[in-house]
Amino acid sequence: MTELLTISGLSISARLADCDLRLLDDVDLAVRRGQIVGVVGESGSGKTTLARSVVGLLEKNVRVDGGSISLAGEQVVAPGVDLTAGVRGGQVGMVFQDASRSLNPLMKVRAHLAEVLHRHVPGIDKDEVRRRSVEVLEQMRITDTARVLDSYPHQLSGGLRQRVAIGLAVVTRPSLVIADECTTALDVTTQTKVVELFRTLVDELGIGLLFVTHDLMLASDLCDEIAVMSSGRVVEQGTALHVLESPEQDYTRRLLAAIPAWN
């Protein structure tokens, strides 16, 4: 399989008033088509910075010190290089943590979808916008598409909103989707459904998925490979089974030990 996303030796730091703070330190990561790669770590481990660096959504005081990010073989991020504007929303779709806040409260679902389609599909007409909007919602396993299209975000349930947010990320048929803690705000049942949805989407559309979460168990359920991050470094990387069954790093063992046991 071809490499879709290649992150190699990526180092990123934030310039603060009195010092530089290393956010990512020599991170290597790859995602292939049809593959789900989980990035797991506690708050502040750098996993969100990693996710956002791929689409160029870093704060103004953050800069790339070394390494690079390539998409399908083309370099998009390197020190002094930022070509992310060209891939944002087109080649790369992103799903954020809390869909109740990541959708514009004053825009209907229909308008959200139309906006992103008009931006990325040159010359698309009204009928095609409508057709693809309905199609993507159906892909999201939404049955009453007409009602959802005509709803404002606040009129939808949390699970439905997150499905719409995922739909918005994939409606432009990207090759890579990045999900940043996108199940955290959902209850466990809805979470399971969203995770299942991701699995089918990856299998059906052949996209690559970078799934960022703090939930190691959830990641091991969903992901083919897992990278465990701590203090801006990838401390352990391998197949989900390998990371879970025979962790080589003390940090991973402690993460696993932190999961409450049932018996």
Partner 1 sequence: MKATTLRRIGARVATLLASLLIALTMAFALGRLSGDPTATILGPMALPEQREALRHQLGLDQPLLVQYFDYLKGVFTGDLGDSLQFYQSNTTMILDRLPFTLQLVAAGMSLAILIGIPLGVLAATREGTWWDRGASTLALLGQSVPVFWLGMMLVVLFAVKLGWLPAGQSGSLKHLILPAVTMALYPMAHIARLTRASMSDALREPFIDSARARGISTTRVVWRHGFKNAMMPILTIIVLQTGVLMSGAVAIEYVYSWPGLGQLALQSIQFRDFPLVQAIVVFAAVIFVLLNLVVDLLHSVVDPRVR
Residue found under tokens 């949390």: 158
- Using CB under 8 A as the binding rule, whether residue 101 contacts partner 1 is answered as yes
For partner 1, which is the closer residue by CB, 132 or 233?
A: 132
For partner 1, which is the closer residue by CB, 98 or 221?
A: 98
Of 228, 207, 239, residue with least CA distance to 4: 207
- H helices present in the chain, as ranges: 47-55, 99-102, 109-120, 126-139, 145-149, 158-170, 188-205, 216-222, 240-245, 250-257
Q: Considering only residues 65, 78, 83, 90, which one is a binding residue for partner 1 as defined by CB under 8 A? A: 90
Torsion sign (Cα): 41, 55, 26, 14: negative
Per-residue x/- track, 155-174, partner 1 (CB under 8 A): ----------x--xx-----
Q: CA-CA distance, 93 to 169, in Å (whole number)? A: 4
**Footprint (CB under 8 A) of partner 1, residues 49-78:** 55, 57
Quote the least distance from Cβ 124 to partner 1, whole Å. Answer: 14
DSSP-assigned letters across all residues of 157-175:
-HHHHHHHHHHHHHTT--S
Q: CA-CA distance, 99 to 175, in Å (whole number)? A: 22
Quote the least distance from Cβ 92 to partner 1, whole Å. Answer: 8
For partner 1, which is the closer residue by CB, 157 or 239?
A: 157
Q: Considering only residues 115, 221, 224, 248, which one is a binding residue for partner 1 as defined by CB under 8 A? A: 115
Q: Considering only residues 154, 189, 262, 263, which one is a binding residue for partner 1 as defined by CB under 8 A? A: 154
- Using CB under 8 A as the binding rule, whether residue 106 contacts partner 1 is answered as yes
Q: CA-CA distance, 206 to 87, in Å (whole number)? A: 18
- Using CB under 8 A as the binding rule, whether residue 121 contacts partner 1 is answered as no
- Using CB under 8 A as the binding rule, whether residue 97 contacts partner 1 is answered as yes
For partner 1, which is the closer residue by CB, 23 or 235?
A: 23
- Using CB under 8 A as the binding rule, whether residue 123 contacts partner 1 is answered as no
What lies within 8 Å, CB to CB, of 86 at 6+ separation is 76
What lies within 8 Å, CB to CB, of 68 at 6+ separation is 7, 8, 9, 10, 75, 77, 78, 81
Binding region for partner 1 (CB under 8 A)? 55, 57, 85, 88-90, 93-94, 96-98, 101-106, 115-116, 119-120, 152, 154, 165, 168-169
